[in-house]
Homo-oligomer: A and B are copies of this chain.
């Protein structure tokens, strides 16, 4: 099997040398549809376009929370609540083994929902004296066109050059309003993604689909948080009947205390080529190609929010997708992973003894 493991590791290196380089390319202005299709979509290669949405009224209007609450005074929006800002993430059960936990979702009037986001942003400072939830306004089901239709005039209904390149209108447009605690764990989508930041900054970690083994995708039992708004308490409920969700096992930002153990559990992630890291600022668009693994954190604007709109376009299920499935289906063992793991376990044991 060592031969195949070498082949997989060579693939990680070669695709970077041939095509992706070491950082995400930044364009000064929107590309032509042909250029975008040729250099990025066809090559399944990300890019950031500076000033891609600087002309949107949203950029000056939305940082003003009075404007938002006025425009959406009667709108019911989907509020996602978690104890720590991490929805759709792995949470250890009392048994110690992790489950895949979804947020508690509640439809509330926008003004109240926004207040949740703002209140929970100060949570870390004020500890647990107040509401213990972290709120994230999002719903990956075309929520911008459904729940936030009153804001539709503030941005373009689609990204014109992308729509022309991809040959279809977006399948879904989603709005995201969160604070510095909101974090999205590593996952991939079966969509071409145009991700526009309106206020604050988004920090992405990106890994190409060639690196699928480095994500340690495993099946986890599905659970969801249930939150008592009055009592201010979360309960984690396993889905019944049990359902298993394949999800990435890697947390790219382990705490200093757990780092050694995490590195020993996921050596291909931590010891392989660095993930692509990029920051998307207000006015920028990130082209996040289909099937790329991404992890997202955010920095708020001065009023405490990060606001973004993303456009999901249908992807082509072509030879690239067939190659990806092939890669995933071969029986891959990392080179000397066993001995590495054993070495690290021994180290860990020694540490505990000290």
From B4, B167, B209, B321, A18 is in contact (CB under 8 Å) with: B321
Instruction: Tell me the complex Cα distance, A329–B321, Å.
Output: 19
Which chain B residue lies CB-closest to A325? B14
Contacts known (A3-B331, A330-B330); A319 close to B37, Cβ less than 8 A: no
Verify B4–A331 contact, CB threshold 8 A: yes
Which chain B residue lies CB-closest to A326? B11
Shortest distance between the CB of A198 and any CB in chain B (Å): 29
A166 within 8 A of B: yes
A124 within 8 A of B: no
Instruction: Tell me the complex Cα distance, A3–B210, Å.
Output: 19
Cβ contacts under 8 Å, A210 to chain B? 319, 322-323, 326
A245 within 8 A of B: no
A93 within 8 A of B: no
Shortest distance between the CB of A329 and any CB in chain B (Å): 4
A34 within 8 A of B: yes
A354 within 8 A of B: no
Verify B42–A318 contact, CB threshold 8 A: yes
Verify B38–A167 contact, CB threshold 8 A: yes
A202 within 8 A of B: no
Chain A 46-75, CB-CB to B under 8 Å as 1, else 0, gives: 000000000000000000000000000000
Cβ contacts under 8 Å, A317 to chain B? 18-19
A165 within 8 A of B: yes
A129 within 8 A of B: no
Residues on A facing B (Cβ under 8 Å): 3-4, 6-8, 10-11, 14-15, 18-19, 33-35, 37-38, 41-45, 164-167, 208-210, 316-327, 329-331
Given A210-B322, A326-B327, 8 additional A-B pairs, CB 8 A: A11-B322, A15-B319, A15-B322, A19-B317, A35-B167, A37-B42, A44-B318, A323-B326
